[in-house]
Amino acid sequence: MKFGVVVFPGSNCDQDCLYVTRDVLKQSVKYIWHKDTNLDGLDCVILPGGFSYGDYLRTGAIARFSAVMKSIAGFARKGGTVIGICNGFQILLEAGLLPGVMLRNKGLHFICKHVYIKTENNQTRFTNLYDRGQVLKMPVAHNEGNYYIDAAGLKDLKDNNQIIFRYCSPEGELSGQFNPNGALDNIAGIINKKGNVLGMMPHPERSSEKQLGTEDGCFIFKSIVKWLQMRKA
Amino acid sequence: MMKPEVYRSLGLSDKEYRNILKILKRKPTNTELAMFSVEWSEHCGYLHSRKWLKTLPKTGRYKALIGEDSGGIILDGLAIIFKMESHNHPSQLEPKQGAATGVGGIIRDIFTAGARPVALLDSLRFGPLAQAYNKYLFTGVVDGIQFYGNCVGVPTVGGEIYFDESYNGNCLVNAMCIGIAKKDALVRARAHGLGNPIMYVGSSTGRDGIGGCSILASHEFKAGEEKRPTVQIGDPFTEKCLIEATLEAINTGHVVGIKDMGAAGLTCCTSEMASAGNSGMDIELQAVPRREENMEPWEVMMSESQERMLVCIKKGKEEQIKKIFFKWGLNASVIGQVTGDGLVTIRDNGKIVAKVKAHSLTKAPVYDMPYKKPRYLRKLNKLALSKILKPKDYNKILLRLLAGPSITNKAWVYEQYDHMVGTNTVVLPGSDAAVLRLKGTNKAIAATCDCNSRYCFLDPYRGAQIAVAEAARNLVCSGAHPAAVTDCLNFGNPRKPESFWQFKNCVQGIADTCRVFNIAVVSGNVSFYNESPRSAINPTPTIGMIGVIKDVAKTCSQNFKEEGDSVILLGYCREELGASEYLKEIHRVTAGRAPQLDLRLEQAVQKTALEAIGKGLVNSAHDCSEGGLAAALAECCVSNKDKMIGANINNLYYNMRADALLFGESQSRIILSCAKDSVEKVRKIALRFKAPFCVIGRTGGRFLKILNGIKELIYLPIEDLSEQWRGSLKKRIEG
């Protein structure tokens, strides 16, 4: 499988995403500079975390105008697999590839810590190796992870099973107490209607090795590989 | 003759001005005067400290690398480069930007050596949080560190935070950065090779920070002074791009030398790079990218605008290097070339505005300062324990100490820092030392910074010794072999003999102790003039130390892991309460002397712990420091909030005051926990190294219980310990 990791000026999880796909998953992977427009031969595009363009103006607001984003929109339209992590999720929202917006964390602080999320939908190319309801331990690290969408939009997300991850207790209980940033309905990750674009605030690339305290995140990448392999077979 | 007001306003003394006249054999131009004033400032020239800094050991058990702006060690094929630097005065004036640019500056010192920055640590000190301005400083500094560090993508993995009255009016912000390079890829801050181009890269130049190092960092604060315009403004996004572009440029092999334009900006870079390369430089200021109009030549030379660097590259490679910086959206402009005359020649539109020998700028005068032991120490060092009332309820005391601002858990702070980016952080903040794996090897490094400045105030020599010993102990508790030191020496006005006595004794304490441990001091920084109108700070020689873990699978952390493990105390308790957190927090007394330190005992304890951890015999290891044995045991119980485990400590038989046993800060003590069947093996190791060894109890249950003999001293539910230790900082800040 061929992964591509987009590099915007200010991306800072690009190298970690490359490391996970190349050294942990043993897949082929390359960087995509934000001015490149050629995504030929790629199976999955990763929009990594960081502070693209310094997150000046608003997170992801400048990055969405990068040349590469037009290609990624086309890639997604054709059914290509796209995953946006943290700042990558914020960019996908700004680019309109996923619905909703990000507000500042309710505590008005940057938050970096391990949290628990519940797998709400395992019938996707990103989550097929998880059980439904499985609780995953992953870190978050963001200033703007307070997901918001209007009532109609939320209904739409629910009706189409687009909410993939929700913040929860270690035992899987959903309540405000375990929501680190105030996100609506404890939403930590969503997919588009077509099911080929995932955005999530927690960092699977930081939770893919036992040495780092949890490998729960690894199965997102492994799910993608499995799905791609099955489709190619 | 120049009016004395002019050079005095730039921070030069009459004698220094006469010296400049002698060197030049003529009156300096405005630009030259400005250049001398910054290069001969305390901050850049180390006028008062250099004599004593020379006594620090430069070699040790790991091969030491000592560069112009940073240092490090060689570990197999890698170079571990690190340095700590102060940004105290700017932070006191403008905490967010002061701290942010402190972080930015120290990161640049690392990647200009060719090393990728992989971790940050911060040692922070403020006056008590009860004062509104201190709260503003504290939250502002934390905000500045998160603002800069998170965006630039270097994890902030550790550090320390203390609160003490002596920092009222002069907080301390010491930032440390660690970088990794292939050992053959290192670059020096030197310019050489006749005709090689000198290139300016990074942000453009403005009027921000003019005189930052000479005016701000080299004088003490006086009441009512307005110095805010001398604080620089940081842009972490530009710095992130600068890191990537610089490392890419170095990777081409066409970079001869490179240096950060930090303190003293272009003046420092031109003169120090030429001087270090035994060459000269001819610079045209009109080629310098600017963000403001009508800047005078001296302003361009003095500006401390951030995120800029000077690079000497191989002739003919200009376009290739420019292309890399342009790709990252940065300026890159050839502003001059290397000459063979040893002179720094500065032109403005072709007209020479300065022409000075590089060596004369960089060889600032060395002052041999008088020193004198302060008289107040004679009284303060006497502590009559009999006059300290014994508490009735030790449980209450322990809870108060755990909630005290210096001991309490600092999650409120470190959860605002991205401490995981880079996916190397194997032991997260909150343990004795942070541990970072070295990808592509099975090794890891551990890092810590330490200094108990109350010890240093009451006994500078021993206090500094303890800072080194404790840093090493913290590393050992994570399973690391202490390898090398960077020091950040924060003191008052060196012209006051009492202050200078503190400085001299601390440096000697560091030097002597590092020699015993056989570790080098590879880099460092001195910050004098840390005084408010009321008084000087406690002498604070912050020790940043790096250790090597030979097998990343054998790291250790402080929290108890399993129920039913044996709890072992290495070392022993003395009846000493001098300089303790307990005396200060509970009895409001700062007196006595720092705890005793026997370096032979210290090494025996450390070697035992290291071997036991290395052999995988141990489940947890924690150093006893502020708050003594009781606070350390409490931390072992509660520091993993997902799995808190109590302990029954029922095998202590000490004939001493209970408060000294529980809260005394005797050095050279480590608490281990291990499975029952490993106890004998650990005991044998201790015996071999002649380290005092005692099984003092067992883990398990929901209570921490401590007995001396049969007398119960502490009996507390771990939830109560956790609540005090975990919740109090947030409460103090957010109410």
How do residues B129-187 score in pLDDT, each as one tens digit? 999 999 999 999 999 999 999 999 999 999 999 999 999 999 999 999 999 999 998 99
pLDDT, position B214: 58
Quick check: A203 contacting B, CB < 8 Å? yes
Quick check: A51 contacting B, CB < 8 Å? yes
Query: Looking at chain A, which residue has its C-alpha nearest residue B412?
Result: A111
CB spacing of A15 vs B422 below 8 angstroms: yes
Domain that holds residue A182: 2-232
Residue A41's CATH number: 3.40.50.880
Question: Worst-scoring range by mean pLDDT, A169-173, B3-7, B157-161, B481-485?
Answer: B3-7
Which residues are paired to B714 by β-bridges?
Answer: B706
Distance CA B434, CA B427 (A): 5
CB spacing of A10 vs B415 below 8 angstroms: no
Q: Which pLDDT tens digit goes with each residue over B529-574?
A: 999 877 889 999 999 999 999 999 999 999 999 999 999 999 999 9
Helix axes B14-24, B30-39, angle to 10 degrees: 120
pLDDT, position B211: 62
Helix (H, G, I), strand (E, B) or coil at B288: coil
The two three-digit tokens of residue B80, written as one number: 């571990």
CB spacing of A51 vs B240 below 8 angstroms: yes
Which residues of chain B does A20 touch, with a Cβ-Cβ cutoff of 8 Å? 423
CB spacing of B151 vs A9 below 8 angstroms: no
Complex ipTM, two decimals?
0.96
Q: Which pLDDT tens digit goes with each residue over B691-734?
A: 999 999 999 999 999 999 999 999 999 999 999 999 899 999 98
Q: Which of B48, B87, B89, B192 is catalytic?
A: B87
CB spacing of B423 vs A170 below 8 angstroms: no
CB spacing of A211 vs B426 below 8 angstroms: yes
> With pLDDT > 90 as the criterion, what percentage of chain B qualifies?
85
Which among A19, A21, A110, A215 is the top mutation candidate for probing chain B, defined by the most B β-carbons within 10 Å of its own β-carbon? A110
The two three-digit tokens of residue A222, written as one number: 């492994």
Average pLDDT rounded to a whole number, residues A187-214: 97
Rg of chain A over CA atoms, in angstroms? 16
Q: Which pLDDT tens digit goes with each residue over B394-421?
A: 999 999 999 999 899 999 999 999 999 9
pLDDT, position B566: 98
pLDDT, position B734: 86
Distance CA B465, CA B268 (A): 33
Residue-averaged pLDDT of chain B: 93
E strands within B194-243? 197-202
pLDDT, position B230: 61
pLDDT, position A1: 82
Which among A5, A8, A11, A12 is the top mutation candidate for probing chain B, defined by the most B β-carbons within 10 Å of its own β-carbon? A12
Helix (H, G, I), strand (E, B) or coil at B336: strand
- B509: amino acid identity, one letter: G
Please confirm, yes or no, whether A86 is among the known catalytic residues: yes
pLDDT-derived band at A129, boundaries 50, 70, 90: very high
pTM higher than 0.90 for the full model? yes
pLDDT of residue B194 exceeding 90, the answer is: yes
pLDDT of residue A149 exceeding 70, the answer is: yes
Q: Which of A23, A49, A212 comes nearest B426 by C-beta?
A: A212
pLDDT of residue B227 exceeding 70, the answer is: no
* Overall size of chain A counted in residues: 233
Least Cα distance to A111 among B729, B731, B415, B730 occurs for B415
Q: Which pLDDT tens digit goes with each residue over B442-472?
A: 999 999 999 999 999 999 999 999 999 999 9
Distance CA A162, CA A173 (A): 19
Helix (H, G, I), strand (E, B) or coil at B78: strand
Please confirm, yes or no, whether B43 is among the known catalytic residues: yes
- Sorted by where each starts, the structural domains of chain B and their CATH numbers stand as 1-38+188-364 (3.90.650.10), 40-186+423-554 (3.30.1330.10), 365-408+556-735 (3.90.650.10)
pLDDT of residue A179 exceeding 80, the answer is: yes
Number of domains in chain A: 1
pLDDT, position B1: 58
The residues on B that touch A, with CB distances below 8 Å, are: 146, 150-153, 235-238, 240-241, 328-329, 411, 414-423, 425-426, 428, 437, 439, 552, 642
Which among B154, B330, B415, B441 is the top mutation candidate for probing chain A, defined by the most A β-carbons within 10 Å of its own β-carbon? B415
Quick check: A195 contacting B, CB < 8 Å? no
pLDDT of residue B669 exceeding 90, the answer is: yes
